[in-house]
Amino acid sequence: MTRLLAAGLLVLLGASAPRAQPAGLRIFDTHIHYSAPDWGEYPEERILGILDRAGVTRALVSSTPDDGTLRLYRKDPARIVPILRPYRTREDMSGWWKDPSIVAYLESRLALGVHRGIGEFHLHGGEIDTPVMRRITALAVGRGIPLHAHSDEAAVVALFALEPRLRILWAHAGMSSGPEAVGALLDRYAGLWVELALRNSDVAPGGVLDPAWRALFLRHPDRFMVGTDTWVTSRWGALPGSVDEARRYLGQLPPDIAEALAWKNAERLFPK
């Protein structure tokens, strides 16, 4: 009865009722997109309901265009951590790193004062040493914000060569890089963090944590994060299952390290 009265009071006051608390290990999902094709089928409240069911208490969100990110952020600013893609449309993906207008776009959007980083963007070795990338890396360092890079190993090396003071969140652990290569880069660069979106089957084939990945998590327990990646609309339906898969392998780690990967490392990189 007390709960019903409290809920009724919230309605009378025009406030939203508190969302259900997630069960199990909380998750900071460090790889979510809410781009234009998603908006019709998945309005903001439906997205937040999916995150509730998955136990995602905070989420790093970017979108093409940026409007989707801001729409989600306005609905739940305590949970949504906005990050700015350099893509105004999908057509920008093919050459954004050499398009001077991208810098002006990023500067204008960052002036809103809500974005916590630049990315997630696609960039490969051989595409780094351009005037645009030099200005973007200077912008990131000057504002004290990280880059979220979907890149091969060569691009990570080249980015740090261009600007050693960068902080980089490496998307998908390089997508195809193995634990030995990932570990070598973590050993080399103190400003590198790694998220594991779309790598569940590599990290834990058949749900069993791979020994080499486990050893790497124990060696660098403060540098890894989890993510899902809603890169196409159909991925929203798969998000809770992806989170469950991540929880399954996190449960095979010592509890303090599982919590670090699940949310604490991301909270350090993107503090409230």
Token code pair at residue 154: 């060569």
How far are the Cα atoms of 50, 108, 171, 211, 232 from residue 205, in angstroms, in the given order? 25, 43, 19, 11, 24
36: three-class secondary structure by DSSP: helix
233 has a pLDDT exceeding 60: yes
Q: Read off the pLDDT of each residue in 177-201 and give the average, rounded to a whole number.
A: 98
In one letter, which amino acid is 152?
Answer: D
Domains in the chain, CATH or no CATH each: 28-269 (3.20.20.140)
Q: What is the pLDDT of residue 24?
A: 81
Do the beta carbons of residue 194 and residue 182 sit within 8 Å? yes
> What is the per-residue pLDDT across 13-42, written as a single tens digit (0 to 9) for each?
333 333 333 358 999 999 999 999 999 999
Place of tokens 């058949």: 206
pTM surpassing 0.75? yes
Q: What is the pLDDT of residue 123?
A: 97
Q: What is the DSSP string of 154-192?
A: HHHHHHHHH-TT--EEEGGGGSS--HHHHHHHHHH-TTE
> What is the per-residue pLDDT across 168-185, written as a single tens digit (0 to 9) for each?
999 999 999 999 999 999
Q: What are phi and psi of 177, to 5 degrees?
A: -70, 140
Burial per residue of 66-85, b for 16 or more beta-carbon CB atoms within 10 angstroms, e otherwise: bebbbbbbeebeebbbbbbb
Q: What is the DSSP string of 179-238?
A: HHHHHHHHHH-TTEEEE-TT-HHHHSGGGS--HHHHHHHHHSTTSEE------STTHHHH
| Bridge-based pairing state of the strands 80-82 and 118-123 | unpaired
Q: What is the pLDDT of residue 10?
A: 31
In one letter, which amino acid is 128?
Answer: I
Could you tell me the end-to-end alpha-carbon distance of the chain, in angstroms, rounded to an integer?
34
What is d(CA 121, CA 171) in angstroms, rounded to the nearest whole number? 9
What is d(CA 220, CA 19) in angstroms, rounded to the nearest whole number? 34
> What is the per-residue pLDDT across 98-154, written as a single tens digit (0 to 9) for each?
999 999 999 999 999 999 999 999 999 999 999 999 999 999 999 999 999 999 999
153: three-class secondary structure by DSSP: helix
- Would you place residue 51 in the very low, low, confident or very high pLDDT band (cuts 50, 70, 90)? very high
Residue (of 166, 105, 109, 101) closest to 131 by Cα position: 101
Q: What is the pLDDT of residue 99?
A: 97
